[in-house]
């Protein structure tokens, strides 16, 4: 007679952490992983927080009472081995993150010493096997930063002269003698990342540590004297050309972290309302356009005008992909906000990714893409609403030209 598998997931509080316990009920005298037990293991592991452990008990309380000792030993060992094989193949859990827990059937008869028979009998005792599965804390971001796919605008300027540099989305005013160098002629480089396509192709995202950002545009600024990088000693003014709702926007700098750019709030950079700031110089036309972003800074490098996205109702999303190259990018794009979030691998084979603490109920696009060469790309896109499906899988990447990819992704914002 078969038993119906029962699923019990208990959260245990300890002094060090919160961990989960899963009590599995197998069919009578069976070690087979059926669909119901597989689903229970999947849900328990995927709901586990990174850095926590899952204790799996493989014998029911009724089995512990009724089975003979040799059956308890045999079935618990066999079931643990089956679960280990399943976890390695289906969940791609590394063997180092799975451990046996051994519970002796009987305590030692007397005090154990290294010289008496009790010690030898203790080490040879039989018992029930259970498992502990550890979920690693380390997140590995998908994709890498690659700014080579976007051409920069390089302009030769004079150090002793006030200069204006015009990009596609911004204008920069550089006061005279702003650079700390001996050169009169300076090469100034500008890269603008405002379109979703340019952001995606370069591997950029809108993350500030564990916080989500909505971007108003990203920049990379650099300057060179005789081929050597130089810094600013005075502030330059950066003027966004497009109108934007400027409330709650702040200035961020980009820090290279694990081959990605992490945006950090920088209170030293002034994101100003020019009408209220007499030191900000602008012409009459600019003065009348106060619904634009103005930044005053003495820093070069990565600069971003962003605002934090606040949400009290959050959810998680797990994505499973086929084994791919290390260059695969997985991104979650919010359609109503200019937000691009990176997926983080959570297993050694890089087939399971997570998006944690994302707003619930957001209409989004899940984009998975992998560059083949300079003109060819494999990719797929899936529309979803966050919170509806906790796991997305069975994604198939199709090959296309890079131009086709650009045409499709530019419609996402």
**Res 26: pLDDT:** 95
Tokens (6 digits) for 45 = 């592991």
The CA distance from 80 to 91, in Å, is: 15
β-pairing, 18-24 with 53-57? parallel
**Res 104: pLDDT:** 86
The CA distance from 223 to 156, in Å, is: 10
Residues in the chain, pLDDT under 70: 1-18, 106-125, 137-138, 245-246, 272-291, 324-326
- In terms of phi and psi (left: phi > 0; alpha: psi -120 to 50; beta: otherwise), the region of 148 is alpha
**Res 347: pLDDT:** 76
**Res 324: pLDDT:** 65
Contacts (Cβ under 8 Å, ≥6 apart) of 387:
315, 360, 361
The CA distance from 162 to 177, in Å, is: 8
**Res 246: pLDDT:** 66
The CA distance from 147 to 286, in Å, is: 31
Neighbours of 20 (CB within 10 A): 20
**Is 219 within 8 Å of 150 (Cβ atoms)?**
no
- In terms of phi and psi (left: phi > 0; alpha: psi -120 to 50; beta: otherwise), the region of 107 is beta
**Res 284: pLDDT:** 46
The CA distance from 374 to 39, in Å, is: 41
């Amino acid at each position: 007679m078969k038993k119906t598998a029962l699923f019990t997931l208990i959260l245990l509080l300890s002094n060090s952490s919160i961990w989960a316990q899963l009590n599995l009920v197998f069919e009578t005298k069976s070690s087979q992983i059926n669909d119901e037990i597989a689903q229970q293991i999947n849900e328990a592991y995927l709901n586990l927080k990174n850095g926590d452990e899952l204790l799996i008990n493989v014998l029911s309380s009724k089995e512990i009472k009724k089975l003979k000792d040799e059956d308890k030993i045999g079935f618990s060992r066999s079931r643990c081995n089956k679960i280990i094989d399943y976890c390695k193949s289906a969940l791609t859990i590394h063997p180092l993150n799975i451990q046996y827990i051994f519970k002796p059937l009987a305590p030692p008869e007397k005090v154990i010493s290294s010289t008496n028979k009790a010690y030898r009998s203790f080490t040879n005792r039989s018992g029930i096997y259970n498992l502990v599965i550890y979920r690693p804390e380390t997140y590995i971001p998908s994709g890498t930063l690659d700014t080579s796919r976007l051409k920069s605008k390089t302009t030769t300027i004079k150090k002793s002269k006030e200069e204006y540099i015009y990009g596609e989305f911004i204008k920069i005013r550089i006061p005279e003698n702003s650079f700390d160098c001996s050169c009169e002629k300076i090469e100034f480089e500008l890269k603008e990342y405002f379109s979703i396509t340019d952001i995606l192709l370069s591997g950029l995202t809108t993350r500030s540590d564990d916080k989500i950002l909505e971007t108003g545009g990203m920049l990379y600024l650099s300057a060179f004297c005789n081929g050597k990088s130089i810094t600013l000693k005075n502030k330059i003014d950066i003027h966004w050309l497009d109108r934007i709702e400027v409330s709650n926007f702040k200035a961020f700098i980009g820090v290279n972290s694990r081959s990605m750019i992490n945006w950090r709030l920088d209170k030293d950079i002034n994101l100003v309302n020019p009408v209220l700031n007499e030191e900000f110089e602008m012409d009459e036309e600019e003065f009348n356009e106060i619904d634009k972003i103005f930044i005053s800074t003495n820093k070069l490098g990565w600069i971003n005008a962003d605002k934090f996205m606040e949400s009290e109702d959050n959810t998680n999303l797990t994505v499973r992909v086929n084994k791919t190259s290390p260059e695969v990018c997985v991104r979650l794009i919010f359609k109503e906000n200019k937000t691009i979030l990176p997926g983080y691998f959570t297993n050694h084979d890089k087939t399971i990714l997570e998006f944690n603490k994302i707003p619930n109920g957001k209409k989004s696009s899940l984009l998975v893409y992998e560059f083949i060469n300079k003109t060819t790309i494999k990719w797929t896109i899936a529309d979803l609403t966050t919170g509806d499906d906790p796991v997305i899988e069975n994604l198939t990447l199709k090959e296309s030209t890079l131009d086709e990819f650009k045409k499709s992704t530019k419609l996402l914002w």
